[in-house]
Amino acid sequence: MKVLVTGAAGFIGSKLSEVLIARGDTVIGIDNMNDYYEVSLKEARLDRIASNDPNHLFKYIKLDLADKEGIEALFADEKFDGVVNLAAQAGVRYSLENPLAYVESNITGFAHLLEGCRHNEVKHFVYASSSSVYGANRTIPYSVHHNVDHPMSLYAASKKSNELMAHTYSHLYQIPTTGLRFFTVYGPWTRPDMALFKFTKAILEDKPIDVFNYGKHRRDFTYIDDIVEGVVRVLDKPAQANPNWDGKNPDPSSSVAPWRIYNIGNQKPIELMDYIAAIEKHVGKTAKKNMLPLQAGDVLETYADVSDLVEDVDYHPSTPVDEGVGNFVQWYREYYQI
């Protein structure tokens, strides 16, 4: 296939690009290289892709999703078979400080991609949603068959908006679209604003870490390799209409249109303090902890019910948290030469 990967210099996008070219797909990767975190890390990820691309199947283009004309020209020139949208303004906490950045990238930019798919016969549009859309929901584990109308941050609201926008295009133009609600992705090459990165850095530098909600969070931490395997499996199986869908008793995960929503997680939530203990073990030092109350926009627990993804694409995450954390700490020491 010829695949567009947006956010190709990002944590998930760079790994996905590597996996796709390794199996022989042609990948056009775009990224705006914004300075939300160190650009040098994004450049290093692109270098990593290039070093694992002996057949020159990957091409990087610097482009912002908000650039309407640029996106139009890209789709017209390249004629993609599939699109995977991983570009977004990320982070729940940053959305409390700079909400408009999320509107421009996550909503306006998303609309430009949908228009590109509409006018260029793209066979499947896969996009990153988020576990944060579950917001105020308290039924655990989170299921795609639950209603999600109470987001607790603008980041979450922007991701729910993406799901609704995709449904409209699937309904009006019969474009197969699939949304993936990611659950706390972690591993080597992760973003510096993620807890694993921040905690590891602070512990190595003998600085205290901020532990919100007094460490009582539970998160469904999901290793990067397991996430990317799921994305590839979904990409290869375009969404189809649900022939049994009932408008009088609507299922939130499917439709009479070729539109689907899946959770993609590890299905094994762990306590934040256990996660920190795994980091301490692999770093070889005990963290100094600032125990703090729950922060605005945070949810208490995430736990993915991935049964639909298991049934439809045989998805089976297999990386234990201790192994994944160990892989990250090893990468961190090598990358930063510590």
Which tens digits make up the pLDDT trace of 306-331?
999 999 999 999 999 999 999 999 99
* CA-based nearest residue to 231, from 27, 90, 64: 27
Place 93 in a pLDDT band, splitting at 50, 70 and 90.
low
Average pLDDT for the chain: 94
Query: What's the token pair of residue 263?
Result: 């959770």
pTM, two decimals, is: 0.95
Place 301 in a pLDDT band, splitting at 50, 70 and 90.
confident
Residue 83, helix vs strand vs coil: strand
Q: What is the pLDDT of residues 241-274, one digit of tens each?
A: 999 999 999 999 999 999 999 999 999 999 999 9
- Contact present, 102 and 154 (Cβ < 8 Å): yes
Residue 39: Cβ within 10 Å count: 12
Q: 224 or 338, which is more confident?
A: 224
Q: What residues are labeled active site?
A: 155
In Å, how far from its chain's centre is CA 78?
24
pLDDT at 99 (0 to 100): 77
Place 220 in a pLDDT band, splitting at 50, 70 and 90.
very high
Q: What is the pLDDT of residues 21-71, one digit of tens each?
A: 999 999 999 999 998 899 999 999 999 999 999 999 999 999 999 999 999
pLDDT at 243 (0 to 100): 96
> CB under 8 Å to 308, separation ≥6 — which residues?
144, 253, 262, 263
> CB under 8 Å to 231, separation ≥6 — which residues?
12, 16, 84, 126, 180, 264
Q: Up-side HSE of residue 311: CA atoms within 13 Å toward CB? A: 6
In Å, how far from its chain's centre is CA 187?
13
DSSP-assigned states of every residue in 21-77:
HHTT-EEEEEE---TTS-HHHHHHHHHHHHHT-TT--EEEEE--TT-HHHHHHHHHH
Please report, rounded to a whole number, the percentage of residues in the chain having pLDDT higher than 90: 86
- Contact present, 329 and 200 (Cβ < 8 Å): yes
Place 92 in a pLDDT band, splitting at 50, 70 and 90.
low
Q: Up-side HSE of residue 232: CA atoms within 13 Å toward CB? A: 22
